[in-house]
Chain A
């Protein structure tokens, strides 16, 4: 990696690593594994940095991150979203009025997401956390739009089925404004 590419890599990591870490946390189960995933993705990108640095590297690196997470179950290990971040506290949670209900709600959703296969979960993260279109999600995952549609529909169906049968924390969701 040449000197100017080194500088570009430094700048990219400084500017976008937090965005990538946010996605990594959603794809994995805790901060430690998310950082490991992010490091792996950055390492893969760094190997080819001279080729990708000319354009905006973010979509490329995000694709590496997501496909690495989605394939870890098979390639080496899979990380499951089950843990609330250690930083979670009642005061940091969002607008529900009853903290106990809110924690239960989050834990319920976290537990249900953990039952989804990695690629299905990755599709839901990209579609609902990153607000990517079906086409952009397909591109990020290297799959067809039909697969994104199927994985989204089946992922939602599985969430619905499990949440509907769960006894607690079934209350209307509130979308946080950004």
Chain B
């Protein structure tokens, strides 16, 4: 039986507060440490000023080029005339079925049984403002009011369902005047496609994205799908997600985010990532869960399924800083030929809790895609994380050098072209790789991360 909204919120609140209450006082020399870091940073910045200017120019060019590829032309917003969705007439194919609408509006919400202050609209105030059969089912948007605040939730069921066959989403959200509300559900054929319904104001336009694309030059852009609302309502079949839903975006014509709820079956769908290729024989050096985590992030950042981007395990093992953390670097090849990489680092459980033997965390980072032309195993990649750097490059590389200015600040060995070593920070650092004869195989700045 699903947790009710109030129970879940109370459980979450209890958990977070209990964890926070366990935190001992902060160290007493934080102000001094901060000033010391500030002074050290200022010295490094002064030293690196000239190089920094050059980098700034290059980045600026990329950003200007990138801004030209956005496929959405900005247009003036459609005014809602200060109205709320609550004020609009009911829309959709069931708009004339008064008995069905009344019965659905009268369905109990989760908050009715366990009231949460500010989250419970009076049942008498509730009304359906949109109801229709959409691909895969029947949906209705119900809004209610409490002390001048409008709350909205979705009700879903099978196509043609009677009111008692409809289920109210556990979540209701307050909406402002002029705000639209969307719903994501798994499509009728399964999670390969999703169904998106958005209810807004007549004339309002929306666009949807579930990730990025990168062209052959490595330029990133969001893959937008314009929706075609009629009378302010859009129902569209959109691509299914191949990983988590962090990259799911719904925006109106002004670029403002639209509140987007999802059904439980949509939220519960967690795609399983395939095993990456393991040309360097490192698979047993990374935890299964952490590997899934970074694959999910990296695949989810883009719009392609994991099978289409050929994930490769580029490196895995204990991090070079000696901190006790482990890490893994994954690469993918996008349809354009551009390549991208993502990293996870984590600390294995230390055994202090008798009831758990699980791993205890992960960090990840997605790096800016690299232009087409070189395969992942030939590409020199250097990624910084917490006083370590991970390097993956051509197989001939046997030694990596951490270089700042003209000085080599550290060296460490590579195996099959990959490895990790200590790195004091990520300021003005490059990584140079040499082969067994001492010749330079390649040199690269630390990978630029993406937002």
A interface vs B, CB < 8 Å? Answer: 6, 9-10, 13-14, 17-18, 20-23, 25-26, 29-31, 34-36, 38-39, 42-43, 46-47, 71-88, 92-94, 100, 103-107, 109-111, 113-114, 117, 119-120, 124-125, 128-129, 134, 143-147, 149-150, 152-154, 156-165, 170, 172-176, 178
Contacts and interface: CB of A to CB of B under 8 A. Distances in A.
Contacts of A17: 26, 30
Contact of B18 (A71, A93, A117): A93
B14 A94 contact: yes
Contacts of A25: 19-20, 23
A74 B14 contact: no
Nearest to B42: A47
B264 A80 contact: no
11 contacts: A17-B30, A30-B347, A79-B363, A85-B19, A93-B18, A107-B355, A153-B259, A156-B8, A160-B264, A161-B267, A175-B13
Contacts of B9: 128, 156
A163 B8 contact: yes
Contacts of A92: 22
Given A39-B30, A77-B345, A144-B256, A170 B3 contact: yes
Interface string B98-117: 00000000000000000000
Contacts of B41: 43
A32 to B, nearest CB: 9
Contacts of B38: 43, 46-47
Interface string B246-270: 1000000000111111101001100
Interface of B: 1-3, 5, 7-27, 30-31, 33-35, 37-38, 41, 170-171, 173-176, 179, 244-246, 256-262, 264, 267-268, 293, 297, 343, 345-347, 349-350, 352-353, 355-356, 358-366, 384-386, 426, 449-451
A164 B3 contact: yes
Chain A binding surface SS class? helix
B355 A120 contact: no
A42 B33 CA distance: 10
Nearest to B297: A73
A14 B29 CA distance: 9
Contacts of A120: 246
A43 B358 CA distance: 34
Contacts of A172: 7, 10-11
A38 B260 CA distance: 32
Contacts of A79: 361, 363
A74 B27 contact: no
Contacts of B179: 146
Task: Give the one of A81, A110, A160 with max B CB within 10 A.
Answer: A160
Contacts of B23: 18, 21-22, 25, 31, 34, 85
